[in-house]
Structure 1
């Protein structure tokens, strides 16, 4: 006689990591779940509220400088290393994991204005107002002695003296050349004590320089005459020049779309351009209430971070007109430099109060090891917020930010001025002959002229 039995595996009917809880099998037929959208909407509201509850972006401060932090650089071959230079000539290498100084690089007699690291991660290049460029050997991570309180003091490998002060420096993403900005744009080789090439367009001082991540011979600079100039090392003269209404303080190329770059401007806005078409900005990023001092793209190319004179750090989508998040503390002063970490998880800001601050790129992100169920839960909440972000209640919770009172008042005043200007222009157009006044789009209105 044969007896048929039903045989089932225990693993198929129990959840992971808990043998006593049974799995719940759901039938997702819409006819059986008439309240599915209402339930999901309520879950989206709760997910947005939980983001606000758990938003703790500030991780810690790295204190050690005696003067304001003026520039920073990251090592492409080391995730937890960050270099900082201050206005008194002090250069430090920090370990972000322990938030302590690993090494110091003494030698500059004036303010350090530029720092950059070579593409192989072995050489640090610094420049400053003492008219010198210094090359330093970076200590390997194996030499970082955590148990000792004495920092490693490094000596300069080479010192290049020149005729004028320097305001910025940047190294090729792949190659041996680096560029300095000052009275002119100079191209240097590691093994040459004088520039191998010099560029200039006009007599104004260049204040920032950035090499293109995709094309090693292409670089962009901004100058104090409100111009943005694109140079090509293979040509004897500059390629393109763009003049804006206000000065550009910093430039950053999008690492995933190397034809696009974003500039931090003195008029409290950032402008994204396509290098192939400079007659208008692709996008205008506005939310700051004072001059934007520095900008840096995330390694993913989807976001960038800005630091401003208004004492805040803001995160923007690469194609978003408004900031996704704003970071500030009571003690933080004017922010002069900002950087993304090499993995895009953290932000580092350097300000006038001598501190470097470490932030989370996502304010409510849970740090540490996540269990599989926790990870799925976070992904589900993100999907819900993305699906229902256009609805008023969810959108209001996501957009709401608490701001310091001076910044809140300045933002209201700025909004009033913009609306008054718009109303004035509308009235002028209404009382003029038809077609006599042409209205330019906002992204094009900021540009004066383009020079070939």
Structure 2
């Protein structure tokens, strides 16, 4: 099957590391780049609607379900929460000790999942009136590896499990409820850059690696 490019978006001056799209409300595409900017795009036009300028390269980005806040992570190790309308930081979430490589909002929109070069995944409370200390839980057990790729993290449909790739060629899955390590799935020969649960209720996970292979794994 031949894939046809619909549109090419132009605006960043350096590598684009991550993108996310709004879930409801105004349709927006958000991008994160090594040029230190967060791009805000109307998918119907090729040029960015706006940019948020920061002081460091941005390596991870996510958008709140309502579309009013952007979560960004970069080489300064911090997760910043931006008011999209004001283009200003509302608050920051500190705790990672190295570059943040992946951000993902939970299915119920109450939590944010992050992963970092410090080899930990963390969850954060992103409810509007959450306590000042928003860190919920830290998940250990996934090796980053020497490649230092921008590894992504994901939730299952119910928000009960989280998954990340690892530098040892495995997919690591934890229980979100208690942080227990549930699975360490082998199969790849290189760093697993992303691991995604299927959008239905089947216990299937798709992984993609620097070994140029994509694998389907079944959780038993």
Q: TM-score, normalised by structure 2?
A: 0.84
Q: Structure 1: where are the runs of 5+ without partners?
A: 1-51, 140-152, 277-452
**Aligned positions of 1:10-409 closer than 5 A:** 57-78=4-25, 80-107=27-54, 109-139=55-85, 154-162=87-95, 163-182=97-116, 183=118, 184-190=120-126, 191=130, 192-193=132-133, 195-201=135-141, 204=144, 207-213=151-157, 215-244=158-187, 245-276=189-220
In our comparison, the structure showing a higher alpha carbon Rg is 1
- Mark the CA change 1:98 to 1:75 in structure 2 (over 3 Å): closer, same or farther: same
Q: Which has the higher contact order (CA 8 A, sep 6+)?
A: 1
Structure 1 residue 60, shift from structure 2 partner: 2.8
The secondary structure found in structure 1 opposite 2:9 is strand
Asked if 1 retains the 8 angstrom alpha-carbon contact of 2:171 and 2:195, the reply is: no
Secondary structure, aligned partner of 2:44? coil
Distance 1:116 1:275, change over 3 A: farther
Give how far 1:202 is off: 5.6
Aligned partners of 2:175 and 2:104: how far apart in 1?
15
Relative to structure 1, is the Cα distance of residues 171 and 203 closer, same or farther in structure 2, using a 3 angstrom cutoff?
Answer: same
Residue 207 of structure 2 contacts residue 216 of structure 2 at CA under 8 Å; is this kept in 1? yes
CA deviation map 1:379-428 (0-9, x unaligned): xxxxxxxxxxxxxxxxxxxxxxxxxxxxxxxxxxxxxxxxxxxxxxxxxx
Q: Is the 8 A contact 1:81 1:93 kept in 2?
A: yes
CA distance in 2 between partners of 1:136 and 1:196 (Å): 20
Change (3 A) 1:103 1:113: same
The verdict on how the C-alpha distance between 1:79 and 1:270 changes in structure 2, with shifts beyond 3 A counting, is farther
> Matched residues in 2 for 1:105 and 1:243: separation?
39
Q: Distance in 2 between matches of 1:118 and 1:105?
A: 16
Q: How far off is 1:73 after superposition?
A: 0.4
Could you tell me which runs of 5 or more consecutive residues in structure 2 were left unpaired when the two chains were aligned: none
State whether residues 252 and 263 of structure 1, in contact with CA within 8 Å, keep that contact through their aligned partners in structure 2. yes
Q: Supply the RMSD in Å over aligned alpha carbons.
A: 2.4
Output the CA distance in 2 between the equivalents of 1:258 and 1:169.
Answer: 23
**Bigger share in helix:** 1
Deviation at 1:122, TM superposition (A): 2.8
Count of aligned residue pairs for this structure pair: 208
Please, what TM-score do these two structures have when normalized by structure 1?
Answer: 0.43
Deviations 1:66-88 (A, max 9, x none): 10111100111147311111112
For residues 131 and 177 of structure 1, the distance between their equivalents in structure 2, rounded to whole angstroms, comes to: 19
* TM superposition outliers: structure 1 runs of 4+ over 3 Å: 191-194, 202-206
Q: What is the CA distance between 1:211 and its match in structure 2?
A: 0.9
Q: Which is worse superposed, 66-75 or 153-162?
A: 153-162
Retained in 1: the 8 A contact 2:143–2:167? no
- Check conservation: 1:118, 1:173, Cα contact below 8 A: no
